[in-house]
Amino acid sequence: MFTFSPITHPTNDTKHPLLLLTTENGNKYFFGKIPEGSQRSITENKIRISKLENIFLTGELKWNSFGGLPGMILTLADQGRDKLKLHYNSPIINFIISTWRYYVFRFGIDLTTNVIQDQELYQDKSIIVKSITVTKENETEGKNSDNIFTKELKSVINSIASSMFPKKSPISKFDPSTDPHLNVSLPNLSYTYNSTQSYEISFHPIRGKFKVKEAINLGIPKGPLFSKLANGESITLEDGTVILPEQVLEKERNVSKVLILDIPNDNYIPHFKEKFKNYDFEDLSVIYYFLDEDITIGKELIEFMEIFPDSIQHIVSHSLISPNTVTFKGSAITLLKLKSLQVDNYNLPRTDRIYSKEFFDCFNKNLPSDVSVIQQQEEPLTSTIDGKNVHVYRQNTILKLDPFTKDSNDLRYKITNKNSDIVDWKKYYDQFLKPFSDEIGSVDDVVNSQINTNNYNNTIEKSRRVEIVTLGTGSALPSKYRNVVSTLIKVPYINKDNSIENRCVLLDAGENTLGTILRMFSSIDCKKLFKDLKMIYLSHLHADHHLGIISILEEWYKYNQEDKDAIIYLVTPWQYNKFIHEWLNLEKPEILERIRYISGEHLVSGNFVRREIQPITIEEFDSMLKLPAKKKQKLSFVEDSSYRDLKAINTMYQDLKIKSFQTCRAKHCNWAYSNTITFYTNSNPSNNTFKVSYSGDTRPNIKSFAQDIGYKSDLLIHEATLDNELIEDAILKRHCTIDEAIEVSNSMEANKLILTHFSQRYPKLPQIDNNKLILAKEYCFAFDGMIVDYDRIGEQQKYFPILKKIFISEEEEEKHEEKQEDVVDK
């Protein structure tokens, strides 16, 4: 039996489909795209991927289609995976990997790529995969073809990739910017996507069972002759009788073929028609259609689907077809529990979606109840395909293929839906919260009156006050209950005419930060939020703090592209700016025109500003490869990089009405920072500033952070990664315990404190008791999706006793899962 299980489908949480193939011997393969949120979906659904060694990427390689891949590779390497191969049709895959060089580094995993040509086969003992590359017509050679990848450039990017994943561990502290194998200046590629990757998956024939009784009756002695016949060889007995394998073997069995077709936009459809007009349909049972949102659900698409025989099963993925189900139900239930205590501090995850009326009418499918629909065609769509053979691709749509015998029975497969797509908040309330109904909000207050309700910046009072949204509050990697870290802070400025200008700043943005935002807010509220977003700040280069930034920038541009004066400030370590330029030049260079970059080093307190390390050119790198391995390359520096860009800094102060922005070096990794921003809040000179400090990842930094740049902050947002008894782990990993974070707050004399960035070992409830005395006037522990008014930060404290009660079931489940961890799929 071979099983195809969707890992993701198009939702607010995960933008694209990812399919897992599991063979009967347990080998696993990914097909599709790996959007942000993929590895969290794997965790949520307890899917084991210890036997995953091949990823077959589909479609066009853009950030929103594989933004989850860097984090997944890091996680697989940390889990001890020793090899992984990525398959795609273009050398662009190697260039893309090389752009990660400043922040993706793991030893012990052999990451390789296979640039697979059209019709080329990959096969192993379990499967046969044929590459299907479809190219759009009228595309000229040059920048939009793979000809831009010269032999020299291919050599460089391949060497960079191997240096990112060395077999042996380097020294304990490693800075990629000091390694000439990684700190290379790559060209700014201008690349037009003109081909899309799809696959045909087939399986080796299964030899029939050996009929022992029949062999004995034929006078065949047991032993080597049995083996030869079982292996398909003819034998000759001593009396000269020739025995053929088919005399003692049951009939050979086969498994049907599957197509995975990734169609990015309407321009590709005529070329798919041409590609498949002479296709061999024999043994084909199921086709997956991975359709990007730019595909029109219309006549041309339907005509292509009708090329295939009537018996084919069609499983269709599209953002107007697949349901916007909540992917991370564990996190959603946690949020519901928290909301039952503080109704106005959380938004119930939104599941609304606009559906294609044409598709559901054409194939006689039932639309979900109470939904919005869109009609893209004037005339109703019709099709010769039986609606029973068309299926909506969703996370619980499972395909199982069983062996069949040719000429004696039909293709054997089964498509099932495991559970309901509907999130029933009332059911969850009754299941998890009813026992505490006397101590929490009623179901009407928590659920019925809160569907699609926004509690952020939604009143006149809130519009004039600072608000904080803790979008992600976990460390290291996404977990079932907490996503990786990101915090949004809104600081309003009240003009003399009483009008309000919001300055929203995003402090770090781990993978799938955008997914959280889209779950929390309607499209109208998202537009307002992204119009207000003025700055993204990155504390350091560890992947859990920034893999969501590209998506945030793309979403920001979507809402701001018509406003030619709109800009966004990006304050980051210098290496990240190189990544941003390399990546956006590749995909969306127009966004770069709107970014105003400032190095975190240029804002550092004190007189000493470190110089950036000069990347070497491709030519220098090529020459270096020919040198003896032990000969060290001398580092050089960008001489003028130690001069602060005062013009850019002062312009930022003016644009965002900031009094000061300072950083200090964090005690974590190289080029890591903590920061303090002092905003003007109005034109009144006597009471017109708000000072916020953010630790990023760091050991306690009393001298430079607490008693210098952050002293007497109005708000401190501080990492509290580990519980107090894990002080040795905190020292080893250069993080803080909860008590150490409190020490920093007390030394800073911060007015209010938010603790965040908790270890994923304790995903639901951090250590809230037996901590040091907190001197701040108010404090709270951050949870994913928490919306907190600065004036009401302390209200959480009164709910601490009931918090423990409502999370007991999760704590027990977690202990059980830990016991099972080493049992399954070793």
Distance CA 34, CA 68 (A): 5
Residue 385: CB atoms within 10 A of its CB come to 17
Helix, strand, or coil (residue 563): coil
Beta-sheet strands, E only, within 481-618: 486-494, 500-509, 533-537, 568-572, 595-599
Distance CA 188, CA 587 (A): 11
pLDDT in tens, 105-138: 887 789 999 999 999 999 999 999 999 999 986 5
pLDDT average, residue stretch 345-355: 96
| Look-up of token digits 């400032």 | 598
Confidence bin at 823 (pLDDT 50/70/90): very low
pLDDT > 90: what percent of the chain?
Answer: 74
| Pairing of the two strands 242-243 and 397-402 | unpaired
For the chain, what is the mean pLDDT? 92
Chain-centroid distance, C-alpha 31: 16
pLDDT average, residue stretch 68-85: 90
Q: Do domains 2-204+254-322+353-417 and 464-607+646-796 have the same CATH topology?
A: yes
pLDDT in tens, 713-757: 999 999 999 999 999 999 999 999 999 999 999 999 999 999 999
What are φ and ψ of residue 69, in 5° steps?
A: -70, -45
Residues 6 or more apart whose CB falls under 8 angstroms from that of 226 comprise 210, 212, 215, 220
Q: Is the pLDDT of residue 814 over 90?
A: no
Q: Is the pLDDT of residue 373 over 50?
A: yes
Superfamily name with CATH number, domain 464-607+646-796: Ribonuclease Z/Hydroxyacylglutathione hydrolase-like (3.60.15.10)
Q: Is the pLDDT of residue 464 over 80?
A: yes
Confidence bin at 624 (pLDDT 50/70/90): confident
* Domain extent listing, the chain: 2-204+254-322+353-417, 212-247, 464-607+646-796
pLDDT at 105: 82
Longest dimension (CA), the chain: 113
Q: Is the pLDDT of residue 143 over 50?
A: no
Q: Left if phi > 0, otherwise alpha if psi is -120 to 50, otherwise beta: which for 644?
A: beta
To the question of domain 2-204+254-322+353-417 being in CATH 3.60.15.10, the answer is: yes
